Amino acid sequence: MLIIFIYKQDINMYKKGVLNNIPTSVSKVEDTYVVRYEQGEFNGECIYKMLEMGGNNKPIKQSPLLMVHCSMGDIIEKVHMNTPLTSEDFQNISMDVREHSLIKVEEFLNELS
């Protein structure tokens, strides 16, 4: 008896990079950087703050960006409407939101300098 396993590939799975298709804007508000996502009635935002850190033993200064707030429920809902998400997809989109919004802030800062 020959048993063959066929793995079904879900064509509706979330694909990384879908946020690239959603219009974004970045602005500086006081000491934070706000990344806004807007597509029709759906919107979201991620807010970053730049920290100033110096070393204790060496005078090396670093300025990492820290995400202090993120509200992307509407945008994730819009993605889910276009491409149904599984429970596994939500972890992937969460990581994509962090990566995408951080890249947008870094691009904004590079344009300023």
In this structure, what token pair is assigned to residue 64?
């990492």
pLDDT of the residue at 87: 82
pLDDT of the residue at 15: 65
pLDDT of the residue at 102: 96
pLDDT mean for each 10 residues of the chain (113 residues):
45 67 94 95 96 77 92 92 85 90 96 87
Among 92, 69, 66, smallest CA distance to 79 is for 92
Q: Where are the chain's structural domains? A: 18-112
Predicted TM-score of the model (pTM): 0.80
Cα–Cα distances in Å, from 37 out to 23, 25, 55, 89?
A: 6, 7, 35, 19
